Structure 1
Amino acid sequence: MRVFGWVCGGILALVAAFWCVSATADLALSAGDYGTPGTYQVETCNDTSNTRKNSDYDCYGDFTPDGGTAGDAVYVHLKDTGHDYPDGTEFDAQQGIEPETLQRVGFWGIVGELWQVSARVAVLAGLGYQAI
C-alpha cells in the first residue's frame, strides 16, 4: 500500500510541476516579459460548460499588434477565459510565440495567472511535506 501511495504521489507531483511551469510561462506573458503587445477585441463569448454551476467561456475575436492596422489583425480563439466578456470589449493583451497563445496584460492579467501558479506550488509543497 505504501508503494502505491508513493507512485500516486510521484505522478501527482509530475503533473503539478508541469502545470506550474506552463502557468509560470503564462504569468510571464501576462507580465509582458516576452511576446507581441497589442489589443484584443472580443467578437463574442460562449459558455461551453454543460452545468449551470460552473461556467467556462470560449471567446472569439481579433488581436491587433500595437502600431498595426485593422489589416494586421489576427483572429484568435481564447479557450477557458473564465470571464464572459461583453461583445466588443477591448483589452490590452500579449501574444506569445504561437498565434493562439494570448494573455491579458496588466493587473488583472497577472492576478489571474498568479492564483494558478500559487495553487500548483501549494500542491507541490503539500506533497513534499507528506514525503518528509
Structure 2
Amino acid sequence: MRRLQRGKPSVSRAFAVYGLTTVAHGSGFLAVFVAGVLLGDVRAPYKKEIERFHTALGSLGEVVAFTLLGLTVPLWTFTMEGAWTDGIVLAVLLACVIRPLVLTALLWPMDLSRGEKRSSPSPDSRVLCRFFSVATS
C-alpha cells in the first residue's frame, strides 16, 4: 500500500498543472507533457516506484480507452457491409504473404545464419492456428 501512496503526489501535481493551465486558457495536456519532459530526468527519491506506478496507470488507461472505443462501434454494420470477409482476407494476406516478404527484405542484409533467415519471416504456426480457429468460429 505504501508503494501506491508514493505515486499519488505526482499524479495530483499533474492534475494541478492541468487545471491551472486550463483555467489560464492554455493547453492543459501540453502543460502536463512539458512538465513530464522537464521533470523526467530529475533525480527523485523512490523514482523507480513512481515510474512503476505510472506505467501501470498508463496501461490501465489504455485498456479503458480502447474498451470504451470498442463499445462505441455497432457490430451489425460489419455484417451488413461484408467487412468480415474483407478483414479475413486482409489478415491472411498480411500474415502469410506481406509479412514474410517484408521481413525477408529487411533481414536479407543482416549477418544471420541460414536457419535464422529461413525461420524468421515465416508466420508462427501457433498464431495461424489460433487465427483460423477464431475466424471460423
TM-score, L = length of structure 1: 0.30
Q: Which structure is richer in relative contact order (CA contacts within 8 A, separation 6 or more)?
A: 1
Give the structure-2-normalised TM-score.
0.29
Which structure features the higher share of helix residues? 2
Q: Which has the larger radius of gyration?
A: 2
